[in-house]
Amino acid sequence: MPSKVGLVYSDEYLKHDTGDHPENSKRLEAILSFLKGKNVLKDLTFINPRKADLKEIEYLHSSSYIQGVRELCKRGGGFLDPDTPVSKESFQVALLAAGGVFSAIDRIVDDLDSAFCLIRPPGHHALKKKGMGFCVFNNIALGARYAQNKHRLKKILILDWDVHHGNGTQEAFYRDPSVLYFSLHRYPHYPGTGDIEEIGEGEGRGYTVNVPLPPGCGDGDYIYIFKEILLPIMKDFKPGITLISAGFDAHADDPLGGMSLTSQGYGALTTLVRESSKGIVSCLEGGYNLKALRESVLAHLDSLGEFNLFPKERIDEEPNRGVKEIVKKVKGIHSKYTR
């Protein structure tokens, strides 16, 4: 029987006007149009997002940063950093992006098995006092705090498979054993964080797991990492909910990634996580080749819902030697920690 999968979306997300920036409204339009064309929307439960209120954004971000973004947008827009433009509407859209994650979490707690948040602006680079890397508010980190504050979920797993390390998410929970942050990413690459030795501090030591990868890694490498590191950690940690920073820019055709994942590979990764999770909320992060992005999102949703929309081809799961060495090193570092 197919799982119950929700979809968070609103046309309001298109109003975050970034011009010809790689992170633009065409990304969401391409995904939604593709899902309609494949007749997938009938299998999904639509979730109408709400706006987060400012107190909820303060779960993570400083009031001075929040007000700074608000004022910049009131003046017509500008740049939070050289990579992160905002327009007049961006502040309100960013509140709706974070609130969309909250709405998805509410439904997972109530009646759905998983939900995909087709939202923008993305979030995992956003720091407490700074927006960067196309990100305004850290949607996934705010979602973790919301799940704890509103629904009293004690343990949250955040899986980040975006090709870039989620420095903002790591910063938010670096000393917190209640949120386990797991990231696999190209390294060294923007933003320069995510070294294998970054494992958390204080009570949070061992609850940040970074798997830094060289360029060119593909499906077999990622599947190996999931089976060897992620799934055992999930079994040990027993999260009440799994949140995914679902960037699709590690796809072989992505112009910014330099990795070799396929759309089918994203589906396989999703299946591995689904089989080990109580509930999943995934949030769109990166992905800048529209064809690769829309196909990867379809594969992700197909695996979440067990819809079997297209036949699954066999994936070569043999990792390269370098990845095996990285996995061995990560396991050695984290073997001393019981979570």
- Where residue 214 falls (left for φ over 0; alpha for ψ -120 to 50; beta otherwise) is beta
Is 125 assigned a catalytic role? yes
Residue type, 260: S
Q: Is 237 exposed, middle or buried (0-12, 13-18, 19+ CB in 10 A)?
A: middle
Per-residue HEC secondary structure of 175-227 comes to: CCCCEEEEEEEECCCCCCCCCCCCCCCHHHCCCEEEEEECCCCEHHHHHHHHH
Indicate the angle between helix axes 263-274 and 290-305, nearest 10 degrees.
30
Residues 6+ apart with CB under 8 A from 38: 298, 309
How far apart CA 144 and CA 131 sit, in angstroms, is 19
Residues 6+ apart with CB under 8 A from 68: none
Q: Which is catalytic among the residues 16, 125, 189, 300?
A: 125
Residue 3 Cα distances to 303, 307, 308, angstroms: 9, 8, 11
Q: 22: cis peptide before it, omega within 30°?
A: no
What angle is formed at CA 43 by the lines to CA 37 and CA 49, rounded to 5 degrees?
Answer: 90
Catalytic residues: 125
